[in-house]
Amino acid sequence: MARVCIIDDKDVMRDSLTDILSGQDHEVTTYSDPQRALAELVPSRVDVIISDLKMPEMDGIELLRSLRSRGVDTPFVLMTAYASVSTAVEAMKLGAFDYIQKPFEADTIALVIERAVTLGRLRGENEALRASLRDWADNYELVGMSRAMRQVRNQIDRVAKSQATVLIQGESGTGKELVARAIHAASTRSTGPMLCVNCAALSSNLLESELFGHERGAFTGADKMRKGRFELASGGTLLLDEISEVSLPVQAKLLRVLQEREFERVGSSATIKTDVRVIATTNRDLSDWVARRRFREDLFFRISVLPVALPSLRDRREDIPELADYFLRKIAQREGREPKQFTARAMSLTENYHWPGNVRELENVCERAAVLCQDEKIDGSLIEPWLSSPDVQAETLVRPARPGHLMEDMERALIEQTLVKFNGHREKTAKALGIGVRTLGMKLKRWREEAAAMQQQSQRLAG
Ligand SMILES: Nc1ncnc2c1ncn2[C@@H]1O[C@H](COP(=O)(O)OP(=O)(O)OP(=O)(O)O)[C@@H](O)[C@H]1O
Ligand SMILES: [Mg+2]
């Protein structure tokens, strides 16, 4: 079923076309006057426009031109009794989708409509695809205008142009994967695949077959041939995450594929050529691993041709407000509500904290705060308990934030963690904790009031 708009000055033609199309289950609207059609037609409510060529006020070509100049790109079919090649060519140039000659059979018109609807749908899909690509590009948005981040951006641009292996070094959560994806997206390989292997997550044998694939029967359990990542990523980029964790035997194989651009599947002697750009990441000092003979020196030189060092967040504190703002907006967008903001005190806490988990930790704090905060602004009292490194956190289990309040502080931490897990949903949280919703509500209310009182007190002290 398609929504068809017919524009023809002759009543007989409109009526007979309407009969044919309604008989084929299409929804039809008609206009005798092209000017009126131009004024009234709602593009989103029409799948196909069929127009006569010769009409007194405005001919079909002119109508098409006006539609296109208004950005209406609905598939357009021109019909005429006087088929001349030059008109047909002109119509096609203007983007008419089809051209039919009168008189025509019901079957012909059915076919034309079907083709036009398919075209419209493909266009829509294409647009959706483009939009998702745009989203995708947005996801690689690297926030931060600090000197260090500007340098990183320059490096990404330079490195993207080359085909050499890139080594991205940085503490956990500094954005290594994000940068790797940005490099791929900016490279000539961006239309090719980008695959990722976490080298720390797999045993040596599994990693080998993950990277290079295996033949059927290569080892127990290999009941099917499987292509490896080096084969699948051909024409694109392969991200080797945490490369320091690769075992020495697999390192030897990696070296060969990087040097010779060829390899064999496990259990096979057939050599496979591959065209893959490798990006490796590590949060360790690889040169130290080389010194301790845990990492091959030749492989280290191979992969560190183009090193990119990501600064830790504590070394670029000026980026913190912008990053926090970016995450709060992103979360709000996802949840479909207004973004929250940090109060001045909360902001100063985040700017002075040492962020052992770097950007990821900041993102988590923003996420938790956005979920738990009931007020317009996120106050320091809410986030303060979270700002401690893991080892300090372990200590708070025995030493409460407020001496003498161990039980209560732990209870509060547990409740808040559970609330975050259930996205702020109180019923689910209460159920998971085995307490009543009312009890939960009362506790939250009390903590909120306490926080407000503390804030007032600190304002009095400050002012
Ligand atoms: N400059 C930045 N701008 C915006 N978001 C960032 C930035 N840096 C990191 N992020 C976000 O922080 C999170 C952690 O980044 P990513 O996973 O790239 O870090 P990583 O260095 O690979 O961490 P790990 O070592 O733990 O694997 C991601 O959600 C990422 O989108
Ligand atoms: Mg990572």
What pLDDT score was predicted for residue 365?
A: 95
Whether the per-residue pLDDT at 397 is higher than 70: the answer is no
- Residues β-bridged to residue 101: 80
Whether the per-residue pLDDT at 462 is higher than 70: the answer is no
Q: Which two tokens stand for residue 39?
A: 């004024």
Q: Find where tokens 């007190």 sit.
A: 457
List, as ranges, residues with CB under 5 A of the ion ligand 2.
Answer: 176-177
Residue 400: which pLDDT band, with cuts at 50, 70 and 90? Answer: very low
Whether the per-residue pLDDT at 193 is higher than 80: the answer is yes
Q: Which of 93, 104, 31 is nearest to 64 (CA)?
A: 93
- Ligand 1 atom nearest to CA at 144: 1
Ligand 2 centroid from CA 303, angstroms:
17
Q: What type of residue sits at position 7?
A: I
| 189 CA to centre of own chain | 18
Residue 392: which pLDDT band, with cuts at 50, 70 and 90? Answer: very low
Ligand 1 centroid from CA 307, angstroms:
18
Please write the tens of the pLDDT for every residue from 348-359. 999 989 998 999
Please write the tens of the pLDDT for every residue from 47-103. 999 999 888 889 898 999 888 887 788 899 988 876 666 777 777 777 777 888 888
SS3 of 296, please?
A: coil
Quickly count helices (H) and strands (E) in the chain.
Answer: 20, 16
d(CA 81, CA 72): 26
- Give me the percent of the chain exceeding a pLDDT of 90: 50
What pLDDT score was predicted for residue 421?
A: 74
Ligand 2 centroid from CA 379, angstroms:
30
Confirm if 150 and 157 have CB atoms less than 8 A apart. Answer: no
Whether the per-residue pLDDT at 149 is higher than 80: the answer is yes
What pLDDT score was predicted for residue 393?
A: 40
Mean pLDDT of all residues in 438-455: 84
Average pLDDT across the chain, whole number: 87
- Residues β-bridged to residue 79: 52, 100
Mean pLDDT of all residues in 173-197: 92
Please write the tens of the pLDDT for every residue from 412-438. 888 887 887 777 888 988 988 888 899
SS3 of 389, please?
A: coil
Domains of the chain: 3-134 (3.40.50.2300), 147-311 (3.40.50.300), 314-462 (1.10.8.60)
Peptide bond into 385 cis (omega under 30): no
Q: Find where tokens 């409460």 sit.
A: 400
Query: Where are any strands of DSSP class E within 119-211?
Result: 166-169, 194-198
d(CA 192, CA 239): 13
Ligand 2 centroid from CA 185, angstroms:
17
Ligand 1 first shell, C-beta below 6 A: 142-144, 170, 172-178, 283, 359-360, 363
What pLDDT score was predicted for residue 130?
A: 63
What pLDDT score was predicted for residue 395?
A: 36
Please write the tens of the pLDDT for every residue from 210-260. 999 999 888 888 888 889 999 999 999 999 999 999 999 999 999 999 999
Q: Which of 236, 218, 301 is nearest to 274 (CA)?
A: 236
d(CA 156, CA 351): 26
Q: Which of 387, 341, 390, 381 is nearest to 365 (CA)?
A: 387
